Chains A and B, each alone.
Chain A
Amino acid sequence: MSRDIAICLPDKVDVNFIMTFIRKMNAFYQYDNAQLPGFFLRFTNVKRIDILGVLLLYKFLEYSIIRNCFINPTTIDIKVINPQIKEFGFESLIASCYTDSKKMEEEYGKLQSRVTNKFLVSPISIFKGLVDRDAIERKCFNSISMFYGTGNVSDMILMVISELIGNFYSHSEDDSRSIIVAYGTNDYVEIACADSGKGIIESLKPYVDSRDNLMIMKKAFQKGVSSKPGTDHMGYGLWMLDEAVKRNGGRMIAYSQDVYYERLGTKVCVIPTPFWRGTVVYLKLFTRMPVAVKDIIPVTSFSKIHYR
């Protein structure tokens, strides 16, 4: 005889309580191919969800569909957060998780950027099988330029998004299904990216002299540390994001497997966390203090190049 399985979401599903959310939801990982009937996800208590919360909610739902965790899963009171899900452009995608995987596939490919006079929302799917990287970036860059123009703020966001897309795209595999979403206002921009792929720690493990996941995560943000040594990759991606956040006074969190990395301005903490299958990166940058590439990469004395 089957019994109901319920997960009740906490009242805040946002960046400040993301560990609580992941701890609740990672029960999904024990139901691979279980095809359990009677599962429901209760939203009754949820008062706030931000872009990171929406993105991870979708990733967990997607995981449960792809891994056949449940039969006919249902939600209770999702309407309480529907306006917020809609604002971030995920309404159809999340609704599709309760229909079938084909519909979800369609909606994943249809994510759209949106720009108003107050904010920009740009959810974009990053999947090699769907579209090439230039097309993904063009979608993002057009909406960013439309909202922020072509000045220093826009350059900072382009730099950060380009590094993030590059990182996730180069590790994108058939089942990783990355999404990047940006939410920007005149004061700040939040960018979140998540996948269900191999993750920072597993990718880097063969190339660093440590087996300790906390140490590997710390190293991932150092200059020149790459999971693709001996190629054109220079190990600048995560280091540049980290430097941009440090100089901007912003915030970055990164999840990989069982490790949580957080930078808040000049402070860093790396701690063990509930398990996440894949990688999550979230950034918040303030527009009052734009950071440029030239602030991060020092101009060297290398002067043989002929500039005009």
Chain B
Amino acid sequence: MRISLNRFAPVISSDEAADNIFQLISGSLSKDEEIVLDFSEIRIISTKCAKRIFGQLYGILGAEAFFSRIIFENASENIRPSLNDGIESFLSDNNE
């Protein structure tokens, strides 16, 4: 399953956008397959949104499935630090 995030471009920073993205992804979780998230037109994502989206997702999937099934495609060098820190912050808050 491939999900384009282009409709949220260029910046993902609001709770509403984060919740819409989470809904999009979580709607595809029932099939036991990879979920490829295409960030090609996203220029900025806030750490808060990264935490909100992917923290919830991690909570549902668990570590193994999250890291193996969720693929981040075309995430620029500007996006990756926010994704890393957002997810790490969630793990740290939850003692993972």
Give A contacts to B, CB under 8 Å.
132-134, 137, 141, 145, 150, 154-155, 158-159, 162-163, 165-166, 232-234, 236, 292-294, 296-300, 302, 304-308
Within 8 Å by CB of B10, from A133, A145, A294, A300, lies A145
Q: Report how far A162 CA is from B49 CA in the complex, Å.
A: 12
The residue of chain A having its C-beta at the shortest distance from the C-beta of B68 within the complex is A306
- Report the bound CA distance from A258 to B51 in whole Å: 34
Interface residues of chain B, those whose CB is within 8 Å of chain A, are 10-11, 13-17, 36, 43-44, 46-49, 51-52, 55, 67-68, 70-75, 77-89
Q: Do B14 and A137 touch across chains, with their CB atoms under 8 A apart?
A: yes
A134→B67 contact, CB < 8 A:
no
Complex Cα distance, B68 from A305, in Å, reads: 8
Looking at chain B's contact residues, the main secondary structure is helix
A155 adjacent to B71 (CB under 8 Å) = no
Chain B nearest Cβ from A37, distance in angstroms: 45
Q: Lowest 6 CB-CB distances: which A-B pairs, in order?
A: A297-B81, A133-B14, A232-B52, A293-B78, A162-B13, A304-B67
Q: Is A297 within 8 A of B44, CB to CB?
A: no
Quick check: B13 and A166 within 8 Å, CB to CB?
Answer: yes
Q: How far is the CB of A66 from chain B (nearest CB, A)?
A: 27
| Neighbouring A residues of B85 by C-beta, 8 Å | 234, 236, 297, 300
Instruction: Contact check, B47 vs A308: say whether CB atoms are below 8 A apart.
Output: no
